[in-house]
Chain A
Amino acid sequence: MPKVTLNHFEAALLFALFTSIVFGVVTTRTDRDRVIYGVKSFGYFLLALFAIGWLMFLSHG
């Protein structure tokens, strides 16, 4: 099994991507709504990633 070494950002980005795909697929409504939900979910993940990242950076002085 090859070894993969990712930094925090890459790991969080991939986590957000795969989770958003599944969130998009399992929502009710139409295919168009599923795509919108998936993209929105990915956007929120990114927003939280940067916001929490900056918060941690600033709180550490």
Chain B
Amino acid sequence: MAKEKKPKEPLPPLKQWLGPVALAWFVPGGGHFLLKRHGRAALLLVAITAMFLLGLMMRGTLFQPKTGDLLTTLIYCGGFLGNLASGILYMATVWFGYAQPDVAGHVHDYGTKFLVTAGLLNVLAMVDAFEIAAGRKS
């Protein structure tokens, strides 16, 4: 028997979720702070910021968008988007000149992964902020 499809929920009004989601991107945990989920906001802020800072201290590199073959495009553009998702952490790193060139070594490699993962975790935090703002979860 075919599984019945759940009806798609309509998107809530933009003004209801845009602020929390934008703040969640700009400052990790910011969306949760705005929505008065202070405990969860603090945990997100600490975990994502610590991951990003550790990545920098391990001399990880920030991706620059680069095109070429499929894999190169995927890695460099995807990595750039992942870095960009860290919001103010990424911008401050670039503005204050802490972005470092790519060097060989397992510690630097881990650092690069930490930097991208911090951004991807912030995307999860943004989705969570959206769902709370839209009233889909508490």
By a beta-carbon cutoff of 8 Å, the part of chain A in contact with chain B is 1-6, 8, 11, 14-15, 18-19, 21-23, 25-26, 28
8 contacts between A and B (CB under 8 A): A3-B57, A11-B107, A15-B110, A15-B113, A18-B50, A21-B46, A22-B44, A22-B125
Is B35 an interface residue when CB atoms closer than 8 A count as contact? no
Verify B128–A18 contact, CB threshold 8 A.
no
The answer to whether A28 and B113 touch across the interface, beta carbons within 8 angstroms, is no
Given A1-B56, A6-B107, does the pair A18, B98 have CB atoms closer than 8 Å? no
- Residues on B lying within 8 angstroms of A by beta carbon are 40, 43-44, 46-48, 50-51, 54, 56-59, 98, 106-107, 110, 113-114, 117, 121, 124-125, 127-128, 137
**In the complex, are the beta carbons of A6 and B56 less than 8 A apart?**
no
**Bound Cα distance A36, B41 (Å):** 18
CB of A35 to closest CB in B, whole Å: 11
Give Cα distance in the complex from A25 to B44, angstroms: 7
Chain A residue at smallest Cβ distance from B56? A1
